[in-house]
Amino acid sequence: MEKAAFIRESIDFLQRYMMKSLQKYSEEHGVTIPQARVIAEVFAHKAISIKLLSKNLKMTQSTVSDIVERLTSKGLLVKTPNPKDKRSVEISLSSELSEGIDANIPEITNQSLSQVLNLLKPDEQETIEKGMQLLVSAVKEKMEADGMDHFEFFDVVYFPGKTKKEK
């Protein structure tokens, strides 16, 4: 269990580092972490209800509503009536924010980790990448053995261009 504990603690440490980096980046741009999380979720869905935002972010509806109101008043989000349910609204990115976000968003969100990786030699970077691929592959294998759905985006990130059998 020592290896498992070390890996878990390492992942926790890295996650805390990345969250602190995200917090710093967000604050430099006048957005709090909860606001950044809401923006990211809206970006991922294009248009989403307060109820679904709350569920996905594990926040209360009143908290999400307050955040959406602040972001709407800043001109970052827009609320439009839901065509399927006139009692609710859909939240989407404002055209101003939408134009500012492009295909390089992963590069922006990974900037702090990239800076850390650049402190390592190329062969050390490759070792880390290969280790992460192996760990994710093992987790996916365990999830499939346990009948759990795995996250499709890992296929694209870790195994681009490969079929399921090749993985």
Domain map (residue ranges) of the chain: 2-102, 120-167
pLDDT score of 100? 65
Lowest mean pLDDT across 14-23, 60-69, 144-153: 144-153
Does the pLDDT of residue 40 top 90, yes or no?
A: no
Least Cα distance to 31 among 58, 60, 66, 67 occurs for 67
Query: Half-sphere exposure of 39 toward its Cβ, with a 13 Å CA cutoff?
Result: 24
pLDDT category at 127 given cuts 50, 70, 90 is very high
Does the pLDDT of residue 154 top 80, yes or no?
A: no
pLDDT score of 104? 46
Least Cα distance to 139 among 1, 4, 2 occurs for 4
pLDDT category at 143 given cuts 50, 70, 90 is confident
Condensed to tens digits (0 to 9), the pLDDT of residues 60-113 reads: 999 999 999 999 999 999 999 988 888 889 999 998 777 766 544 556 667 888
pLDDT score of 93? 92
pLDDT score of 16? 84
Does the pLDDT of residue 52 top 50, yes or no?
A: yes
pLDDT category at 46 given cuts 50, 70, 90 is confident
pLDDT category at 149 given cuts 50, 70, 90 is confident
Mean pLDDT of 29-47: 87
Selected from 3.30.70.240, 1.10.600.10, 1.10.10.10, 2.60.40.1180, the CATH number assigned to the domain covering 2-102 reads 1.10.10.10
Average pLDDT over all residues of the chain: 83
The total of other beta-carbon atoms located within 10 Å of residue 140's CB is 18
Backbone phi, then psi, for 81, in 5-degree steps? Answer: -60, 140
